[in-house]
């Protein structure tokens, strides 16, 4: 008998997006500290900034919100590519000091591509250089039209540092959630999205996940792809053991048999047998896809990405350098600006670079501050500063060339038809034949073909042309040849030599 569907209102999962310096973490820290004491703060919140917040309204009503930081828009894109959509509503944070920055545009692209409803928070309104009107104009240039400024996108001016406007933002998010009519069923096993995985030395493989529907409880089995977890340990976002959790909650599920993919979905079933059946179905479904991927990867390698932190003296210079860097992309390598800005290279820039050891830091008409200098010496990050733009691009072009992967392909150098066989001693065979194309040389590795099918491999040990030893034999010539091979060669077979060529 089917279980009764019990749909109830579901708390929203809010994704925070924006430029790295525009106050995402500061906003989340402020909200967390108003809701969680320093003594309690820990668990998931320290790792991925995923936690539940309880908003108490003016009339005393309580509403839960789950916040999920996006520590880089690329992480969110990867999740979306895997078919997942963690957030229900987005918050696009834009600094009232800096306006729209390149990462703001990229974050906006992620929001639009995933068709995520969003609100805008114009942050840093407490700063002397804050200009809310100019920020609105910047947003309008990127087709984001705010309410009261010719559009329908909800917005609020805030200061994540002082807390000004944060209550209004929370109310706005709850209103947006009401409009989305989010609901879940409390009478079905949980399903959701994995947002982080790691291996704990004591507890084993653990994942952090957001439940999107249903109820998660001990005694069930979770399945994600080929990975299975008999649920014996669940922790809430504070790292405290719990027996069950329901939709929109960030949880830690402990005890997987293998590490699931970040961004993958998970489902819960009632028994280990059901979990194994679900895992087997996934393996069968993906077997053909993986085979095709393997075949494709033989001929096509993924692009190598070179992460770049870029600083310049003015906005105009920055845009010019970014344009020139974009022109250096090749079929194999992509120079990718992960952080950019105007001013000196700072400690924060170097910290961002150290998150990925392959990152390089480029400066144009700028310098490094003292804290950055100290960190550069300790981290070993490569930093290059130029005052001529083509010198910068020349250096980057050399780096791209040095990091371009070498691709080797097999090139056929010669092919011959075997006309006679004379003798065989252990693995060495003496044969006679005629070169049909190219040339064959002593020392060449050869493939042996019979009726167009490869039957073995060998090596040319000796060649004679008209009973005189030779180093090689060319197209149209007849020869005698000693081939070392475990495969017995017969008249009519073909031998084909080849070499590996770099492309």
What's the pLDDT at 341? 83
Rounded to 10 deg, the angle between the 347-354 and 370-379 helix axes is 20
Residue 235 contacts residue 251 (beta carbons within 8 Å): yes
Strands (E), 275-318: 304-312
What's the pLDDT at 29? 84
CA–CA distance, 272 with 266 (Å, rounded to integer) = 14
Q: What is the pLDDT along the chain (503 residues), one digit of tens a residue?
A: 455 666 889 999 998 888 777 888 888 888 887 665 444 445 554 445 678 888 887 778 889 999 987 654 343 444 433 333 688 999 999 999 999 988 888 888 888 888 889 999 999 999 999 999 999 999 999 999 999 988 999 999 999 999 999 999 999 999 999 999 999 999 999 999 988 776 665 788 888 899 999 999 999 999 998 899 999 999 998 889 999 999 999 999 999 988 787 778 899 999 999 999 988 888 777 665 455 444 444 444 468 899 999 998 776 678 778 888 988 998 889 999 999 887 889 999 999 998 877 899 999 989 998 889 989 888 888 999 998 888 999 999 999 988 888 777 888 999 999 999 998 888 899 999 999 999 999 999 999 999 889 999 999 999 999 989 999 999 999 999 999 999 999 999 999 998 877 76
CA–CA distance, 442 with 444 (Å, rounded to integer) = 6
What's the pLDDT at 315? 60
Half-sphere CA count of 227, side-chain side, radius 13 A = 22
What's the pLDDT at 230? 95
What's the pLDDT at 295? 45
**Domains plus CATH for the chain?**
7-183 (3.40.50.300), 188-299 (2.40.30.10), 304-403 (3.40.50.10050), 408-502 (2.40.30.10)
Structure tokens at 193: 């999205």
What's the pLDDT at 75? 37
SS (H, E, C) 225-247: CCEEEECCEEECCCCCEECEEEC
CA–CA–CA angle 109, 111, 114 (5° rounding) = 105
Quick count: other Cβ atoms within 10 Å of Cβ 261? 15
Residue 367 contacts residue 344 (beta carbons within 8 Å): yes
Residue 314 contacts residue 348 (beta carbons within 8 Å): no
Distances (CA, A) of 453 to 157, 276, 446, 448, 450: 72, 40, 14, 8, 5
Dihedral of CA 150/155/157/159: which sign?
A: negative
């Amino acid at each position: 008998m089917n279980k009764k569907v019990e749909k109830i209102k579901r708390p929203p999962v809010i994704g925070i997006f924006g430029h790295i310096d525009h106050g995402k973490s500061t906003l989340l820290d402020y909200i967390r500290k108003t809701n969680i004491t320093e003594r309690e703060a820990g668990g998931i919140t320290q790792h991925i900034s995923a936690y539940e917040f309880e908003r108490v309204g003016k009339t005393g009503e309580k509403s839960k919100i789950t916040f999920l930081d996006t520590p880089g828009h690329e992480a969110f894109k990867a999740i979306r590519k895997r078919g997942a959509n963690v957030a229900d509503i987005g918050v696009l944070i834009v600094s009232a000091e800096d306006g729209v920055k390149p990462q703001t545009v990229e974050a906006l692209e992620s929001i639009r591509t995933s068709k995520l409803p969003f609100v805008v928070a114009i942050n840093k309104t407490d700063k002397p250089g804050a200009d809310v009107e100019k920020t609105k104009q910047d947003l309008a240039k990127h087709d984001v039209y705010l309410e009261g400024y010719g559009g329908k996108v909800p917005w609020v001016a805030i200061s994540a540092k002082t807390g000004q406007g944060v209550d209004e933002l929370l109310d706005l998010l709850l209103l947006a959630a009401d409009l989305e009519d989010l609901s879940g069923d409390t009478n079905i096993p949980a399903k959701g999205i994995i947002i982080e995985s790691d291996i704990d030395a004591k507890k084993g493989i653990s994942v952090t996940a957001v439940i999107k529907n249903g109820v998660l409880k001990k005694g069930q089995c979770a399945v994600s792809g080929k990975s299975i977890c008999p649920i014996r340990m669940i922790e809430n976002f504070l790292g405290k053991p719990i027996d069950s959790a329901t939709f929109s909650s960030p949880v830690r599920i402990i005890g997987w048999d293998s590490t699931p993919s970040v961004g993958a979905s998970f489902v819960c079933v009632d028994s280990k047998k059901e979990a194994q059946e679900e895992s087997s179905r996934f393996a069968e479904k993906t077997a053909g896809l993986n085979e095709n991927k393997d075949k494709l990867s033989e001929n096509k390698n993924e692009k190598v990405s070179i992460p770049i932190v870029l600083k310049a003296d003015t906005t105009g210079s920055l845009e010019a350098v970014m344009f020139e860097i974009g022109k250096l992309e090749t079929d194999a390598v992509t120079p990718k600006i992960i952080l950019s800005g105007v001013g000196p290279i700072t400690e924060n820039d170097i910290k961002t670079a150290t998150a990925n050891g392959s990152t390089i830091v480029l400066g144009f008409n700028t310098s490094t501050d003292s804290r950055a200098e100290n960190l550069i010496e300790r981290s070993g990050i490569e930093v290059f500063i130029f005052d001529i733009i083509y010198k910068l691009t020349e250096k980057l072009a050399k780096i791209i060339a040095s990091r371009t992967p070498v691709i080797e392909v097999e090139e056929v150098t010669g092919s011959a038809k075997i006309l006679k066989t004379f003798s065989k001693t252990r693995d060495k065979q003496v044969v006679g034949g005629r070169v049909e194309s190219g040339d064959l040389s002593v020392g060449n590795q050869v493939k042996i073909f019979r009726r167009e099918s490869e039957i073995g491999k060998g090596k040319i040990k000796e060649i004679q042309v008209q009973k005189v030893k030779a180093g090689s034999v060319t197209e149209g010539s007849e020869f005698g040849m000693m081939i070392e091979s475990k495969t017995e060669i017969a008249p009519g077979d073909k031998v084909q030599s080849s070499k590996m060529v770099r492309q």
